[in-house]
Structure 1
């Protein structure tokens, strides 16, 4: 039986084949995460539509989104998103900065980016441990209350996506062994290992 994570590989629907084709066009292979979400491709599409809608009010920049996902994924212990988004952050900054964000040391970031990354980690680790002082720190870094809400929703939705992937045993794609910068790979020390070559 062919498996994806802990589950059997689902039969792809027309919509599933469409997203497979999108992966191949963009990356040259079908990501494990795409194969898993072939169980409910419309749910994955809906989740990413919701992420776009959440961001539409305040338009977080690509770099800000890369920082948020890299910080929250590493704090959450999700190796797959840490590798994928740490690599994206490396392209928007450099590999060393991305590795520092993965380790929780944000020296390569601006003051507002450091505060934002810290907030993403707190939300990922223990949302009940946040305080009004943490929110005030975001305000002091220049974020409006609307932006703080957007940032928090964005992080929470990304965590929902990661939770499904991690709980069902999804391994990071073997291709990440060569496509993720070495600094990023070495900084990812939690979560599931990169899959072996097929």
Structure 2
């Protein structure tokens, strides 16, 4: 049985055209190589450019990176992108997050009430943003989150929706990516 293949082919700076050729060429020049998702996003310079801008912007987020990764794990379990889930679990481990914390995030919770509250709001932003309540936002403040951190979670959700949905559409999975 052969390995599954992606629905969209990953491009190279040589096979990409127009703005995508320039974006990929610049990324390869700066980083040496880029992942399959970025190379596949190059089919749409608008999507690739938007992803790169949002990704760069979120690197300046105030929300603690460990919490951001736990939120991302919870989101990707529900969205179903195994490629993203593996990446976020690996990133969480590199930050010292325990297997117990990762497993709790997979269930959209945390043993830490502060983290659990942020995951709950992130999941509400993902599933039903019209259902976010004043009490939920106040709970985040009561746990010590700043308004900036509360706003940052929307960016974390948006970036996860973009990458997960793209990977699912393109057929990028751990089995289809080198």
TM-score (norm 1): 0.67
Rounded to whole Å, the distance in 1 between the matches of 2:101 and 2:130 is: 29
Change (3 A) 1:23 1:170: farther
Change (3 A) 1:157 1:9: closer
Deviations 1:30-62 (A, max 9, x none): 533123112245743443333443563x52232
Determine if the alignment matches structure 1 residue 36 to structure 2 residue 40. Answer: yes
Gaps of 5+ in 1: 25-29, 175-194
Rounded to whole Å, the distance in 2 between the matches of 1:67 and 1:41 is: 30
Query: After alignment, is 58-67 or 47-56 more displaced?
Result: 47-56
SS at match of 1:39: coil
Rounded to whole Å, the distance in 2 between the matches of 1:149 and 1:9 is: 33
Change (3 A) 1:139 1:55: farther
Q: Partner of 1:124 in structure 2?
A: 126
Rounded to whole Å, the distance in 2 between the matches of 1:52 and 1:9 is: 22
Q: Partner of 2:113 in structure 1?
A: 111
Q: Partner of 2:145 in structure 1?
A: 143
Corresponding pairs, count: 166
Q: Partner of 1:16 in structure 2?
A: 24
How big is the alpha-carbon RMSD for the aligned residues of Structure 1 and Structure 2? Answer: 3.0
Rounded to whole Å, the distance in 2 between the matches of 1:19 and 1:71 is: 29
Report matched runs for 1:78-97 at 5 Å. 78-92=81-95, 93-97=97-101
Q: Partner of 2:6 in structure 1?
A: 5
> How far is the alpha carbon of 1:14 from its aligned partner?
4.9
Judge conservation of contact 1:4–1:35 (CA < 8 Å) in 2.
no
Rounded to whole Å, the distance in 2 between the matches of 1:102 and 1:116 is: 14
Gaps of 5+ in 2: none
Deviations 1:78-128 (A, max 9, x none): 222111101211222123321221122422xx3221211121122222222
Rounded to whole Å, the distance in 2 between the matches of 1:14 and 1:4 is: 26
Change (3 A) 1:156 1:42: closer
Instruction: Please list every run of at least 4 consecutive aligned residues from structure 1 whose deviation after the TM superposition is greater than 6 angstroms.
Output: none
TM-score (norm 2): 0.73
SS at match of 2:42: helix
